[in-house]
Amino acid sequence: MRFPKALAVGGILAIAVTAASFAQEQATVQGSIPNLNLMPQAPELRAGQGRLAIDGSFRVALTGYQEPRLQHAAGRLVQRLRRQTGIPFDDRLETDASKATLVIACERAGEVVQSVKEDESYTLEVTPQQARLSSPTPVGALRGMETFLQLVDLDDKGFGVPGVTIHDRPRFPWRGLMLDVSRHFMPLPVVERTLDGMAAVKLNVFHWHLSDDQGWRVESKRFPKLQELGSDGKYYTQDQVKEVIDYARDRGIRVVPEFDMPGHTTALLAAYPQYASAPGPYSIERHWGIFNPCLDPANDAVYTFLDALIGEMAGLFPDDYFHIGGDEVNGRQWKNNPRIQEFMKAHDLKNTADLQTYFSEHVVPLVEKHGKKVIGWDEVLHPGLPKSAVVQSWRGQRSLAEAARQGYTGILSAGYYLDLMQPAAQHYQVDPLEGATANLTPEQKSHILGGEACMWVEFATPESVDTRIWPRMAAIAERLWSPEDVKDVDSMYRRLVVTSHWLDSVGLTHHTAHAYMLERLTNLRPTASLEMLDSVLEPVKGYAREGARDYTSFTPLNRLVDSTPPESTAARAFAKLVADPKANQDAIRKRLTAWRDNKAELVPLMQNSALLQEDVPLAEDVSALAATGLQALDYINSGKPAPDSWVTDQKEFIGRARKARAELLIMIAPSIQNLVDAAAKSGT
Amino acid sequence: MRFPKALAVGGILAIAVTAASFAQEQATVQGSIPNLNLMPQAPELRAGQGRLAIDGSFRVALTGYQEPRLQHAAGRLVQRLRRQTGIPFDDRLETDASKATLVIACERAGEVVQSVKEDESYTLEVTPQQARLSSPTPVGALRGMETFLQLVDLDDKGFGVPGVTIHDRPRFPWRGLMLDVSRHFMPLPVVERTLDGMAAVKLNVFHWHLSDDQGWRVESKRFPKLQELGSDGKYYTQDQVKEVIDYARDRGIRVVPEFDMPGHTTALLAAYPQYASAPGPYSIERHWGIFNPCLDPANDAVYTFLDALIGEMAGLFPDDYFHIGGDEVNGRQWKNNPRIQEFMKAHDLKNTADLQTYFSEHVVPLVEKHGKKVIGWDEVLHPGLPKSAVVQSWRGQRSLAEAARQGYTGILSAGYYLDLMQPAAQHYQVDPLEGATANLTPEQKSHILGGEACMWVEFATPESVDTRIWPRMAAIAERLWSPEDVKDVDSMYRRLVVTSHWLDSVGLTHHTAHAYMLERLTNLRPTASLEMLDSVLEPVKGYAREGARDYTSFTPLNRLVDSTPPESTAARAFAKLVADPKANQDAIRKRLTAWRDNKAELVPLMQNSALLQEDVPLAEDVSALAATGLQALDYINSGKPAPDSWVTDQKEFIGRARKARAELLIMIAPSIQNLVDAAAKSGT
């Protein structure tokens, strides 16, 4: 499916024009409305006069087009606002719009099945008398309601929304989150609160990674062995799937299911080993990585099976798109099977990549036969792929550009992998239309539909997954919604910190789960000293954890590394201070002293906890780093350079302290090195 | 209903014998198992050898008598243990008991409808090889499972349970919590997590205060106007009531419904004004206090109505007991109604108390007719009350003793009002068999069935109610379960602090709601400085809040006083330190310095928040009190007495600082006065 050219190109141009003055305008707005905390930013936002008070008289009216989705959303808005403010509002909708605090005026019904063509635009005007939200469609109204809720704040007069006029619409029509539910099953409440969080930051595609080597997660009535033998009893019933789809639709979110094939199919093959490329039996995979089991492209029965399975699943999921995976086929079973080798020769398939293309060429028509368009990972891109297909790039903008040049649509996921524990700024700086895609023609660019963050859950559980997705997801959501030139990292972080707490009112658990996991680590004893250590740590990056231990599905993820947030706010703030050590000396010294002295209380606590013992060296090193920092400050104050030998010793020590221990990194180490460098140059 | 003499007296004697050596034994146990955290304490507990490890191999087996309630409980135990440890256990029950980590052996079915006669005893033996829980009944097994979960801790080797043998049984057969759901409606999830918390501390009666002036909270099919006109749409359907009853039964908890009459009936009279003692119309009361509207005892139609209503509700609630309230009738409508005055004369009723007795004498037979025994507040005690009735004393042990002497059974609630914001120690020291009841004969004492904590919710919402009930409820639960001589306040607090965090794993929200409410107050900004202030404050005590403002059902309960926990752990710890200022000087100085300096960050934050502005004087005074404390320390160190003028000034200042502001009290003020007193006497 190609994104309609008129809408895409027109939309992008309109945004470009508007966005030209965005930076200045935004500066003005931020100046006059200091607490304004919109994330993602809107392309057009003008500060108005005064402030709309939110008090016990708050009421919502729906005018214009009405449907249950809007009524549900208005009801949720009142509940959310009650949670934000603690004010017991009247639940009932106001019928007289002139008396309402917030009037929602929707023009018409949206699409029966939401697609990439859905109009998500809205206008929100807030005056001291009333807020008015107008939109062509219910989905636009949903987006505007989230904006309204985000703008509610508390100042010295009370709760309210600053006077403002916002014209808002997304830059990209496909803004998603992929959630893996195979490596660790994610029960329904996790899925539902994830959808709530997605809606809060205006995402519109929930990509549900439902099958992989470690589990088949959806009930099949046609092939019940899939869940019976492939899920450990941990799967969604078809009724639950429908519940999720309804829940998502109520929030303006499409649900795109993924059934990964021909690789990543061990769980499927545990149920139906006859479709493998090597003799079974198979059992559910318990380790992480890339595995050999693979469907057999040379077996006609495989396509018969897939036809029936895809048919059943295509009936269950109403979205236009059906994701067939296609990633990471290592081809080992194909190379080792003489029958398959013979088949390849007979069909003039030179290598396993060709064989995968053969497989795709036979599966894609099955998907289309059942009324769906195909989406797949980079690997599915091959000459015979129908132009309606979407290529999801986990490899980078290059393959996206290549797909676009060939006339395919695509979305970017490379750079948006939340499980790799990268800072929000790093994701924020990845743009679907930069790098290799920057040189595409405008027509080709219109084929880039957007992007999807990915949350693979080898190292996340239902308990911890929110701490891995949030708040960084909000930064990616802004990248995909807001104009291209909204990229001020400081502004992003300033708003992200507030948004992170606002997301508590949405029902996400990234803060509460983190606090709970620390309590567990200390055996229910006071956690303040552990919090202080934890606040300057981050988990190791990329795939470093996979090599660190022999992890399996049964490994408890209850260690400090499993609770530590992906990004240290304290270390980032400290780095800012250290940029000017003289000006910020008091603040730096206060922090360093606290970090240096923390180990006295912390280390005995850690020694009593089997789970924290591995982290004692980190506690010791944070303390020693802080002591080094304090010495460096003394040298800086002295106006004379620190002795070379001291500088050398510290550098060596800091080098050691920067190394991962217990799969954790000390994030203040680089700033301490900067202080040492400043001390070395002191007075010069 | 009288508590069977043999069981009660026998039980109490047996406990007395056992409990004699309890204090020493417990000391030994606590010495050898330092992390042991059982609350309520068991009458017989002996430390064993070694430790049972809890790891991924943990499995539960059920042997002996089986029923769904036990299977559900075993399933919940595994889930709870997973949450406590973060270890992904196998969900399935082990069929081979020899391979199980925990074997639960139940002898026989319990009562079909749980009553005060239910056997709740159990034995838990833990060795390094296995834990064995045996009990006569499923309810005993439920109690033992909570003990097992409480004993799980984390030491330097890992998760485990210390070797121990426990023979446990309750001192009193009626251990309850009354929850008011009328003043602020409490939705189903609040009720259910309250039941989870109750089960965790071995309570067995949920007293559901379902009607009052401010709301009728249960669906009547017979009289639907009750919910239509008396509830603002906030009521439990009969299906929901059944769900709660099942949920409670699954946890070994009885559900006793209360329909308060003849007073506290404004909401009922909003629906059926014809049964009032003065002409209507009536509308749901929005204020707090004692109000005039009252059923008309002189109107026969009232009894016809109550017969049908009680009949319907008696059919809905399976418990033996039916609570008819009876409290706080001010008699004003009766005095002002000439017809009623005439009726009183005709029936030789001298005063309104006599008229209430007349009412009771006519309502009690209706309750009995529908197969229930009556429970009511003190006021229902009158000569004609059947001996099967239970008197719930909100006035004190005196009326309980009087009831017992007359042959009634009774439970104590005076001293257990959680909404009065008293410290846990104060509730802990109230014993149903002390004071006026201490002189009863053993036979009379056996009529005292136990007690109930009461949570009236004028000043609590679904959001905050957990912070009002927990953890103090656990201290009262111990009073009602554990032997009379388990009353060491220091031991109670040591265990209460840990239990409070353990209750997080049960699903209670007292910590998360508190943290969330502080975030709201700071407009989602960092809360550390507010937490520090909050940690030394407590809400005003008793009924002081009612007079402080014109509160109604519509008043937002979103201020600092609404989130501050009822009891300041920090102030209690500080008072301990101040008891020996010389020995603890460093620790005292560290805290005082932090408190003194906190206002620099805090006060600007507060000034920007309309909700926190009223608390600025508290922040200023905590800082000034801390400064006084530091000066006092300096005088103490000097070895010379502080000057009289300084002592006088400080005393005057502290006197002012002890006064409530914004309905909050500074709890370190008395300790600062102690430091000033010590400074005044320094060197002498």
CA distance B677 to A116: 74
In chain B, residues with a C-beta closer than 8 Å to the C-beta of A502 are 524
Instruction: Note if the bond before A670 is cis, omega within 30 degrees.
Output: no
**Averaged pLDDT for residues B176-181:** 98
Q: What is the pLDDT of residue A36?
A: 79
Q: What is the pLDDT of residue B34?
A: 45
Q: Which of A247, A293, A250 is nearest to A272 (CA)?
A: A293
To the nearest whole angstrom, how far is the Cα of A98 from the nearest Cα of chain B? 23
Q: Is B645 left (phi over 0), alpha (psi -120 to 50) or beta?
A: alpha
Choosing from A111, A125, A228, A328, the catalytic residue is A328
Interchain CB distance below 8 Å, B156 and A607: yes
Q: What is the pLDDT of residue B24?
A: 40
To the nearest whole angstrom, how far is the Cα of B157 from the nearest Cα of chain A? 5
In chain A, residues with a C-beta closer than 8 Å to the C-beta of B91 are 233
Structure confidence by residue, pLDDT tens digits, B185-198: 999 999 999 999 99
Structure confidence by residue, pLDDT tens digits, A539-554: 999 999 998 999 999 9
Q: What is the CA radius of gyration of chain B?
A: 27
Q: Which of B11, B10, B254 is nearest to B121 (CA)?
A: B11
Q: What is the pLDDT of residue B384?
A: 80
**Averaged pLDDT for residues B266-287:** 97
Of B37, B233, B609, the CB nearest to A156: B609
Of B88, B511, B608, the CB nearest to A556: B88
Query: Is it the case that residue B663 has pLDDT exceeding 50?
Result: yes
Interchain CB distance below 8 Å, A502 and B524: yes
The answer to whether B418 touches B469, Cβ cutoff 8 Å, is yes
Query: Is it the case that residue B29 has pLDDT exceeding 90?
Result: no
Of A511, A523, A558, the CB nearest to B86: A558
The answer to whether A65 touches A106, Cβ cutoff 8 Å, is yes
Q: What is the pLDDT of residue B322?
A: 98
Q: What is the pLDDT of residue B379?
A: 86
Q: Are strands B373-377 and B390-393 parallel, antiparallel or unpaired?
A: parallel
Q: What is the pLDDT of residue B22?
A: 38
By the CB < 8 Å criterion, does A57 face chain B?
Answer: no
Give Cα A268 distance to the centre of its chain.
Answer: 27
By the CB < 8 Å criterion, does A594 face chain B?
Answer: no
Q: What is the pLDDT of residue B269?
A: 98
Q: What is the pLDDT of residue A530?
A: 98
Of A154, A498, A562, the CB nearest to B610: A154
Handedness of CA B275, B279, B283, B285 (dihedral sign): negative
Interface A:B, Cβ pairs < 8 A: 112
More confident residue, A164 or B7: A164
By the CB < 8 Å criterion, does B556 face chain A?
Answer: yes
Q: What is the pLDDT of residue B13?
A: 32
By the CB < 8 Å criterion, does A550 face chain B?
Answer: no
By the CB < 8 Å criterion, does A154 face chain B?
Answer: yes
To the nearest whole angstrom, how far is the Cα of A95 from the nearest Cα of chain B? 18
By the CB < 8 Å criterion, does B86 face chain A?
Answer: yes
To the nearest whole angstrom, how far is the Cα of A5 from the nearest Cα of chain B? 42
CA distances from A659 to A327, A459, A597, A613 (A): 32, 20, 22, 17
The answer to whether A499 touches A36, Cβ cutoff 8 Å, is no
Of B153, B501, B607, the CB nearest to A519: B501
Number of neighbours of residue A248 by Cβ within 10 angstroms = 24
By the CB < 8 Å criterion, does B516 face chain A?
Answer: yes
CA distance B548 to A140: 46
Among A198-202, B225-229, B385-389, B496-500, which is the least confidently predicted range?
B385-389
Of A155, A520, A607, the CB nearest to B86: A520
| Burial environment of residue B639 by CB neighbours within 10 A (0 to 12, 13 to 18, 19 or more) | exposed
Report chain A's terminal Cα–Cα distance, integer Å. Answer: 64
Structure confidence by residue, pLDDT tens digits, B607-660: 999 999 999 999 999 999 999 999 999 999 999 999 999 999 999 999 999 999
Interchain CB distance below 8 Å, B524 and A516: no
Structure confidence by residue, pLDDT tens digits, B484-514: 999 999 999 999 999 999 999 999 999 999 9
Residues of chain A with pLDDT under 70: 1-35
In chain B, residues with a C-beta closer than 8 Å to the C-beta of A501 are 519, 524
Contact partners, residue B24, CB within 8 Å, separation at least 6: none
To the nearest whole angstrom, how far is the Cα of A573 from the nearest Cα of chain B? 13
Touching A: B residues 231-270, CB under 8 Å: 233
Of A35, A156, A463, the CB nearest to B610: A156
Interchain CB distance below 8 Å, A610 and B156: yes
Q: What is the pTM of this model?
A: 0.94
Interchain CB distance below 8 Å, A86 and B562: yes
CA distances from A70 to A255, B159, B676 (A): 19, 49, 63
CA distance A359 to A324: 11
To the nearest whole angstrom, how far is the Cα of A326 from the nearest Cα of chain B? 30
Q: What is the pLDDT of residue B33?
A: 43
DSSP 3-state assignment of A34? Answer: coil
Structure confidence by residue, pLDDT tens digits, B539-548: 999 999 998 9
Interchain CB distance below 8 Å, A515 and B519: no
Alpha helices in A487-527 (DSSP H): 489-506, 510-521
Q: Which of B248, B246, B259, B250 is nearest to B205 (CA)?
A: B248
Nearest Cα residue in chain B from A501? B524
Nearest Cα residue in chain B from A153? B523
How high does pLDDT run on average in chain B? 94
Question: Token pair for residue B301?
Answer: 């139609």
CA distance A625 to A562: 24
To the nearest whole angstrom, how far is the Cα of A77 from the nearest Cα of chain B? 17
Residues of B with active-site annotation: 328
Q: What is the pLDDT of residue A382?
A: 84
In chain A, residues with a C-beta closer than 8 Å to the C-beta of B512 are 512, 515
Residue type, B584: N
Q: Are strands B215-216 and A159-168 parallel, antiparallel or unpaired?
A: unpaired
In chain B, residues with a C-beta closer than 8 Å to the C-beta of A284 are none
Nearest Cα residue in chain A from B514? A512
DSSP 3-state assignment of B371? Answer: coil
**Averaged pLDDT for residues B546-570:** 96
CA distance A419 to A72: 33
Extended beta strands in B570-682, E state: 664-666
Interchain CB distance below 8 Å, A157 and B523: no
CA distance A285 to A139: 40
Of A154, A512, A609, the CB nearest to B523: A154
Interchain CB distance below 8 Å, A519 and B512: no
Q: Which of A171, A414, A138 is nearest to A253 (CA)?
A: A138
Percent with pLDDT over 90 in chain B: 92
Extended beta strands in B213-341, E state: 215-216, 254-258, 321-323
By the CB < 8 Å criterion, does B494 face chain A?
Answer: no
Interchain CB distance below 8 Å, A85 and B498: no
Residue type, B629: G
By the CB < 8 Å criterion, does A155 face chain B?
Answer: yes
To the nearest whole angstrom, how far is the Cα of A85 from the nearest Cα of chain B? 7
Touching A: B residues 214-233, CB under 8 Å: 233
